[in-house]
Structure 1
Amino acid sequence: MGGANFPDPAIIRTTDGWHLFSTNANVGGKLVHVQRGFTADWKSFTLRKGVDALPNLPSWVDPKNPRVWAPDVVRISDGTFVMYYTAAYKAKTNLHCLGFATANKITDPFVDSSTTPWICPTARGGAIDVAGFTDETNGNARYVVYKIDGNAIGHGGSCGNTVAPIVPTPIMLQRVAANGHTLIGGPTQILTNIASDGPYVEAPSLTYMNGKYVLFFSSQCYMTTGYDVEYAIADKITGPYKRSGTVFKTGTLGLSAPGGLDVAINGDHAIFHGFVHRFATLPLPSTSHKGKGNDHDDDDDVHHDPDKFSFDEKHCKNFETKADCKKRNYQKVRAAYVVTLSMEKGVVKATL
């Protein structure tokens, strides 16, 4: 998408193609809460530059620094759409909470008129990274998965949570009604951070492959090269989930700190992100830009001195212009890459 920063993309298929949504970004000096993208063929992607899918925020969101992250969109049985999202809580601005918004058509602005957060365990650090899942093997029962953001109240260190005592950052499973948002019962913990995860686990995405429930998640601090995409497998949706391997790590496609995998179809298309290395090209024909993690970019901060940049045109073939390439090589760009997932004998593989 022309080198645009497009963090945390969610993907949903409709009759006209695939619609993408992403974390907030400054676009032309304007803060867009939820960005939009589109692809008709899963090969070329278009950024709806400056178009905000969630133009108006509810009253519970911090108006000064809303930090709207990691949207996910689902279609419910009546043909309308629900967007799940994360935003900063006005009552406790260091924390994030979860909300939902609705739209009659996928291209309509989503609306959330709530006065309180949808899900917000403030005593445990709030919540982020909510994603929907429909269990087609169980009467199309609907669920969401999300992360309790314990590192937001951590005691310091990498991403706020590597100084003892380490605060839990569990992944929760919550049943919802057919409307996509009425909560049914309480949440169930299906995974939590262990010592090898560093500060947290986050960015959950649930799918069903080869008769198994597969939970993708990221671990380690998103700002380090240890950030990755791992997966855990279960026979039942409520678990227990067995950690089973790593799908992406630093070095994949020349990226650093890949994470935040989002599954578009059970066992099929998926998208993930990684920081683009200096001089990195975007090698796939289908590329967009995203990032998923606890600390998300709210703007396109420049980190290197352009005057010291040794410009090489060959590294810019996938950008719209040389100038855009030169600019983006100094920014926190997390590029999204499309893959196809498969699982054989309990091992998940990703192919381009």
Structure 2
Amino acid sequence: MKVLKSLVFIALMSVSGAYAQQPATSGNPIFKGWYADPESAIFNKQYWVYPTYSAPYKEQVFLDAFSSKDLITWKKHEHVLDTSAVKWANKAIWAPAIVEKDKRYYLFFGANDIQSDKETGGIGVAVANRPEGPYKDHIGKPLIDSFHNGAQPIDQFVFKDKDGKYYIIYGGWQHCNIAKLSNDFKSVVPFKDGITYREITPEGYVEGPYMFTRNGKYYFMWSEGGWTGPDYSVAYAIADSPMGPFKRIGKILKQDPKIATGAGHHSVIHNQKKDLWYIVYHRRPLTEKDGNHRETCIDVMSFDENGLIKPVVITTEGVKAQRLD
């Protein structure tokens, strides 16, 4: 009888929380499937990830999204955007960027992998009333459909500066441009000096730009190496303006041959209330040789006393549970 009472007591105490379990971790990858180029955001006290569906270009005709309240359990939102809503796009929809403005959600994407100005494609914009869509073509044509300063119109990121202005930062083929967006996100408009596409390419840049601010400084990040190779990685620079100049500081994300290869094309989550930083990125499992077999992962990102980003330790555990409410 004493043993039975003890077991009942332990069960009751566990339910009450007296026997706290170890914090859950996300694990890596954070959701199933071949997904790459993850764009992360926080909307309505939830974490969101918008990745590329990693497949051959002719199959890459839609985007899924994933949401979570705690970084642990992720809900899949299928086909938030597909080519049925974008008449000019027919393949290679990838590397989405997401921003909320005036209670609407704008999803920027690359499509068709154009190789010259003679082809149809480039960077498009879709819009929805909810983070999970469905998203519809916002313009009816690409926002950027030509090569400027040698930059292939792909891998876009939308940055909101402290003055409320929005910029699009983009580019493949080892060139990166920044351009100012119009208020309605239907065009790019010239800077005061008359230049529309300003090149800000740092040393080592290949693709996948990302920007955020911290303590008044502009952190510019990008991917280096070939996306199908093991040495795909992320480097960064710091400047006093989104226009730079950006001098390369070094790599902060790269492969660990014991865990995964090709760690790159990332985004950043900042829990402002608790000042916690996370890097969301893709990598290739050691068992995979197919270039499209990439998974979306998350790990902690931190800074030293001088504001420099510490090298990220990629893990199989991922991160601890963290709610926004």
What are structure 2's unaligned runs of at least 5 residues? 1-29, 191-195, 314-318, 320-325
Matched, 1:190 2:200: yes
Question: What is aligned with 2:93?
Answer: 68
- Deviation >3 Å, runs of 4+: 89-96, 122-126, 177-182
The structural deviation recorded for 1:252 is 7.5
> Of 227, 236, 244, which residue of structure 2 is paired with 1:239?
244
Question: What is aligned with 1:3?
Answer: 32
What are structure 1's unaligned runs of at least 5 residues? 151-168, 279-301, 305-329
Question: What is aligned with 1:345?
Answer: 306
The structural deviation recorded for 1:2 is 4.7
Q: Please give the alpha-carbon distance, in whole angstroms, between the structure 1 residues aligned to 2:179 and 2:229.
A: 30
Q: Please give the alpha-carbon distance, in whole angstroms, between the structure 2 residues aligned to 1:203 and 1:269.
A: 17
Give the counterpart letter for 2:48 in structure 1.
H
Q: TM-score, with normalisation over the residues of structure 1?
A: 0.68
The structural deviation recorded for 1:269 is 3.0
Q: Please give the alpha-carbon distance, in whole angstroms, between the structure 2 residues aligned to 1:127 and 1:212.
A: 27
Q: Please give the alpha-carbon distance, in whole angstroms, between the structure 2 residues aligned to 1:277 and 1:73.
A: 30
Structure 1 residues 2 and 114: CA distance shift in structure 2, 3 A:
closer
Counterpart secondary structure, 1:23: strand
Question: What is aligned with 1:130?
Answer: 156
Structure 1 residues 10 and 252: CA distance shift in structure 2, 3 A:
farther
Counterpart secondary structure, 2:111: strand
The structural deviation recorded for 1:146 is 0.3
Q: Is contact 2:266–2:279 with CA below 8 Å preserved after alignment? A: yes
Q: Is contact 2:104–2:130 with CA below 8 Å preserved after alignment? A: yes
Question: What is aligned with 1:53?
Answer: 80
**Greater Rg by CA:** 2
Structure 1 residues 57 and 241: CA distance shift in structure 2, 3 A:
same
Question: What is aligned with 1:273?
Answer: 282
> Of 159, 168, 174, which residue of structure 2 is paired with 1:144?
168
Structure 1 residues 126 and 243: CA distance shift in structure 2, 3 A:
closer
Q: Please give the alpha-carbon distance, in whole angstroms, between the structure 1 residues aligned to 2:138 and 2:158.
A: 20
**Identity rate of aligned residues, in percent?**
21
Question: What is aligned with 1:43?
Answer: 72
The structural deviation recorded for 1:210 is 2.5
Structure 1 residues 96 and 57: CA distance shift in structure 2, 3 A:
same
Matched, 1:105 2:130: yes
Matched, 1:79 2:103: yes
Structure 1 residues 244 and 2: CA distance shift in structure 2, 3 A:
closer
Q: Is contact 2:235–2:252 with CA below 8 Å preserved after alignment? A: yes
Matched, 1:15 2:39: no
Q: Render the CA deviation track for 1:282-337: whole Å, top value 9, x for unaligned.
A: xxxxxxxxxxxxxxxxxxxx859xxxxxxxxxxxxxxxxxxxxxxxxx98233322
Q: Is contact 1:252–1:258 with CA below 8 Å preserved after alignment? A: no
Q: Is contact 2:36–2:295 with CA below 8 Å preserved after alignment? A: yes
Question: What is aligned with 2:235?
Answer: 230
CA RMSD of aligned residues (A): 3.1
Give the counterpart letter for 1:53 in structure 2.
V
Q: TM-score, with normalisation over the residues of structure 2?
A: 0.73
Counterpart secondary structure, 1:342: coil
